[in-house]
Amino acid sequence: MNILSSKRTIAENLILQFDAALKTLANSAIAMRPNPARSSTPTLTSLEKRLSAQCMRVNHAGEVAAQGLYQGQALTARKLAVAEKMRQAAREEVDHLAWCETRLIELDSHTSYLALFWYTGSFMIGAIAGLVGDKWSLGFVAETEHQVMAHLNSHLHCLPAADNRSREIVALMVEDEARHATQAISAGAASLPKPIAVLMRMMAKVMTTTARWI
Ligand SMILES: [Fe+2]
Ligand SMILES: [Fe+2]
């Protein structure tokens, strides 16, 4: 397993994990790419503003969960190359985290108060997926990204018509998630048994419903 065969000690790995968790949960993500929200600030009614904030809070919670999943999978991946791929993907996802955070601030709203719970739960699921084996772990990434894409696409339609700034962010996130899924498949992802995919969908539903409000 990579945590034992790596040149890094277990203590160093734990410090890395702790650092990644802190950066995710401190609401201080810094994007590497420019924010795709280029439209001018829209005039929204208070109801539209609340709806946009709910959507972007759910998306942000999803990105917190993605960080947890990738870090958990990186920790227990069998091959160092797979662990590094997971960490690289987590770094790319930081952009999504930062863009959603920025948009929530613009909407005078907040990220989910349950972020620690989303991160920890996802980290444990990711670590278990990694322990099962690399091809299953990659399969888990591909399935997750496909479900996230379906979810984000639904947000493209339900965001208030005037809120192009949120829509521009979500649109680029969909493109990125599609690329992550393709990369996982070309790295050897196995397709997950249907009951696992259904279970993942049910767990995601709990998170998206809760994060909308809390
Ligand atoms: Fe993402
Ligand atoms: Fe992704």
In 23-175, DSSP assigns E strands to: none
pTM above 0.75, yes or no: yes
pLDDT digits (tens, 9 = 90+) for 94-103: 999 999 999 9
Beta strand extents in 52-110 (DSSP E only): none
Tell me the CA distances in angstroms from 27 to 4, 116, 137, 152, one per residue in order.
Answer: 32, 11, 27, 21
* Class of the CATH domain delimited by 2-26+46-213: mainly alpha
For the CA of 172, the nearest ligand:
1
Closest ligand by atom to 152 CA: 1
* pLDDT computed for residue 109 by the predictor: 95
Q: Which of 13-22, 49-58, 114-123, 191-200 has the highest mean pLDDT?
A: 49-58
Distance 43 CA to ligand 2 centre (A): 30
Rounded to whole angstroms, the maximal C-alpha distance in the chain is 56
The Å distance, Cα 145 to ligand 2 centre, comes to 6
Residue 6, phi-psi category: left (phi > 0), alpha (psi -120 to 50), beta (remainder): beta
Instruction: Report pLDDT digits (tens) over 9-55.
Output: 667 767 777 777 777 777 777 888 999 998 888 888 999 999 999 99
46 alpha carbon to ligand 2 midpoint, in Å? 31
Separation of CA 199 and ligand 2 centre (Å): 19
